[in-house]
């Protein structure tokens, strides 16, 4: 049986958030769908200014951890002044833990980063990248209260984590100005939909202690 530590219990909840014991999601999840056709003007994702943020808790909101992941590459397709397709690649080897989130004197951010990268969790040696590929973009009539500020579109896309692909749909703020485009969003999914588990069974304490909810915040910018 794997040794359970505080770091291990928190780590598997990477990108996860929960304010109470009730699991929740603000995102619909379905099977993989056809990727939107790239057409019109294609803008390259600016890796230097694009970022993915994550935050994690034990169930009940205890011992929060948060940090970032780098965006490696990608592009957004613009037609008629609107984003119609696109993709971006996430560098899983770039997992960072914000030192401000590690308040225990005997814990170090570097230790958590190393644990997240090993085979107990994301096994980045075998899965060095994740990606998101847009399947559709539609007008958003009314943004839910937990949506990112200024949300104006509903974005659907295939999200690949740990080699598994599922389609997710969430509200987003999508802007196209001059020769630039940007997508900002925050959404919650269930990590087990991608097979992200630490405990061997549902009753394993390691699995029970971690929220299944996963919060992902994306800020992707593209330009000529």
117-143 pLDDT, tens digit each: 987 778 899 999 999 999 999 999 999
Q: Report the alpha-carbon angle 190-196-200, nearest 5.
A: 115
CA distance 130 to 89: 6
Q: Taking 70 as the threshold, does the pLDDT of residue 212 lie above it?
A: yes
Q: What is the pLDDT of residues 20-41, one digit of tens each?
A: 333 444 578 999 999 999 999 9
CA 20 to chain centre: 20
Report residue 120: phi and psi, to 5°. Answer: -60, -30
Q: What is the pLDDT of residue 7?
A: 41
Give the domains, in start order, of the chain with CATH numbers. 26-221 (2.40.128.110)
pLDDT, position 156: 98
Contacts of 161 (CB under 8 A, 6+ apart): 130, 194, 196
Phi, psi for 109 (deg, rounded to 5): -55, -40
Alpha helix positions (H), the chain: 6-11, 109-117, 205-208
Q: Which residues contact 163 (CB under 8 A, 6 or more apart)?
A: 126, 127
Is the pLDDT at 104 greater than 70, yes or no? yes
Main-chain dihedrals φ then ψ at residue 207, nearest 5 degrees: -80, -40
Cβ pair 45, 88 in contact under 8 A: yes
Rounded to 5°, angle at Cα 185 from 184 and 191: 140
Q: Which residue has the higher pLDDT, 176 or 2?
A: 176
pLDDT band at 219 (very low <50, low <70, confident <90, very high): very high
What is the pLDDT, as a whole number, of residue 204? Answer: 72
Structure tokens at 106: 């005997």
Nearest of 94, 97, 125, 122 to residue 112 by alpha carbon: 97
Question: Is the pLDDT at 54 greater than 60, yes or no?
Answer: yes
How many Å apart are CA 96 and CA 110, to the nearest integer? Answer: 8
Mean pLDDT on 94-102: 93
Residue of 143, 165, 144, 161 whose CA lies nearest to 152: 143
Mode of pairing for the β-strands spanning 65-79 and 51-56: antiparallel
* Per-residue model confidence (pLDDT) at position 6: 41
């Amino acid at each position: 049986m794997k040794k359970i530590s505080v770091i291990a219990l928190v780590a598997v909840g990477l990108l996860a958030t929960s304010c109470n014991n009730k699991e929740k999601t603000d995102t619909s999840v379905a099977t993989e769908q056809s990727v939107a056709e790239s057409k019109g003007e294609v803008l390259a994702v600016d890796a230097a200014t694009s970022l993915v943020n994550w935050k994690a808790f034990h169930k009940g909101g205890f011992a929060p951890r948060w940090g970032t992941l780098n965006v490696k590459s990608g592009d957004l397709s613009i037609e008629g002044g609107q984003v119609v397709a696109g993709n971006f690649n996430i560098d899983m080897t770039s997992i960072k833990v914000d030192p401000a989130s590690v308040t225990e004197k005997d814990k170090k951010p570097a230790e958590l980063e190393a644990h997240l990268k090993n085979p107990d969790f994301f096994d980045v040696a075998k899965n060095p990248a994740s990606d998101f590929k847009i399947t559709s973009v539609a007008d958003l009539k009314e943004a839910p209260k937990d949506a990112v500020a200024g949300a104006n579109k509903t974005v659907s896309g295939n999200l690949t984590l740990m080699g598994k692909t599922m389609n997710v749909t969430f509200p987003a703020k999508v802007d196209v100005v001059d020769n630039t485009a940007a997508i900002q969003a925050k959404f919650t999914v269930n990590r087990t939909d991608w097979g992200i588990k630490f405990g061997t069974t549902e009753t394993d304490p390691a699995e029970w202690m971690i929220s299944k909810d996963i919060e992902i915040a994306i800020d992707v910018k593209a330009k000529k």
